Amino acid sequence: MFERERVTEAFGDDYVLPNKAYAETCASIGGMLWYHRMFLRTGDSDYVDVFERTLYNGYLSGVSLSGSQFFYENPLVSDGKPGRPNERTEYFEVACCPGNLARLMEQLPGLIYAQRSNELFVNLFVGSDAKLTIGGVPVMLKQTTNYPWDGATTIRLDPSKPVDAELAIRIPGWARGQAMPSDLYRFTSPEPERVVLSVNGQETPLAPKGGYARIRRQWQRGDLVEVRLPMTVRRVLAHDRVKENAGRAAIQRGPVVYAIEAADNGGKVSQVTLPLDAPLTSRFRSDLLGGVHVVRGPNVIAIPYFAWANRGRGEMAVWIPY
């Protein structure tokens, strides 16, 4: 085992969020299951927004791209020194995280959709096929998407016969100008961007209610719903009371939070700064880390946070001074 500082699992004061925080992988998994159950109880899309943020960031960072090494802790900054929490390991003395990671991934297909009578909720944008029954009518649903890299999603409905139902499609908070459903984080430019929703090629007015765009109609075999979400690169600020992130901002594209890692930035990132008005661009790199969207700025390259620590040890940071 690696030597570690003595730490305790405890609650801190409000807004005390150190970037070297414990952030246990199992905690992210427990949180996701709780968010899902709270959604089922309330129908509130805020819980699914936090579920999605955790899924693509805090949860996914817990396992290496090879699937064979794991993080117990998931810090938001690393000095690159040997040992935990800067390196994933194959085994822990308390090996709860690997089993929970696998269990949650096995559960994920059952968390994409939800149904209440004749309402069908599309909560996550994941390529999938689903079989359900609405008003006694068997319905096949197929979702096609390259999310989270691409904001385009197509949903095809194939009822065995015409059926009246309401399709509720979650419009993520980040696409509505909301970094987090609380005051903890905010975008530097909070204005919502244009989300396009169409049915059988005809654009449909978008008026999200409770975070969902709702389409009520008689569905026919082969009906196609298309959703296009903006994938602009944005900067994220923490609440002013989060002292450790004063003068720092993170990078986000879609639901994915980014990090700068030594491997892409000359071997060090601890002295990197990135002005808030710095132009940022993104492109897909199929040859990097199994295929990821990379964000570039002046003298800076950022990768999805979940993919860090897959190329050996090195400095890493999510919150970048500006």
The pLDDT, as a whole number, for residue 7 is 57
Contact, 270 vs 318, CB < 8 A?
no
CA 92 to chain centre: 26
CA angle 90, 95, 98 (to 5 degrees): 65
Query: For the domain 117-170+194-228, what is the CATH superfamily, name and number?
Result: Golgi alpha-mannosidase II (2.60.40.1180)
Each residue's pLDDT, cut to its tens digit, for the chain (322 residues) gives 344 444 567 778 899 999 998 899 999 999 999 999 999 999 999 999 999 999 999 999 999 999 999 999 999 999 999 988 899 998 777 788 889 999 999 999 999 999 999 999 999 999 999 999 999 999 999 999 999 999 999 999 999 999 999 999 999 999 999 999 999 999 999 888 899 999 999 999 888 889 999 999 999 999 999 999 999 999 999 999 999 999 999 999 999 999 999 999 999 999 999 999 999 999 999 999 999 999 999 999 999 999 999 999 999 999 999 9
Q: How far apart are CA 279 and CA 157, in angstroms?
A: 40
Which sequence spans correspond to the domains of the chain?
25-108, 117-170+194-228, 233-321
Per-residue confidence (pLDDT) for residue 1, from 0 to 100? 38
